[in-house]
């Protein structure tokens, strides 16, 4: 009973959901979470970047010798390597 009275008396719920907080209250690296529009724009940019990376050549880690290949080319190389064993 005491907890209920305490919560009832001193607790006021926020009118703004945490995921819809104003951008000025978020750190710079979390500003994309500020609104539905910023989350959507960030997702569109991410999908565009991932699509470009999936269709192009590039270095992931040059020192380790790890490269990025287009998916079709990676499938061809894998099939040639593991396809028919002689």
Domain residue ranges of the chain, discontinuous segments joined by +: 17-54, 57-86
What the block records as the tokens of 52 is 């470009």
Burial class (CB in 10 A: 0-12, 13-18, 19+), 7: exposed
Task: Express each pLDDT in 32-62 by its tens digit.
Answer: 777 788 889 989 999 999 999 989 999 999 9
Mean pLDDT of 17-35: 67
Nearest to 35 by CA among 21, 46, 17: 21
Element (H, E) at 60: strand 58-61
């Amino acid at each position: 009973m005491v907890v209920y009275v305490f919560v009832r008396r001193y607790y006021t719920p926020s009118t703004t959901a945490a995921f819809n907080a104003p951008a000025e209250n978020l750190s710079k690296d979390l500003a994309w979470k500020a609104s539905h529009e910023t989350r959507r724009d960030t997702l569109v940019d991410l999908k565009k970047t991932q699509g470009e990376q999936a269709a192009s050549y590039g270095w992931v880690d040059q020192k380790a010798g790890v490269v990025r290949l287009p998916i079709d080319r990676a499938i061809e190389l894998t099939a040639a390597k593991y396809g028919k064993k002689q």
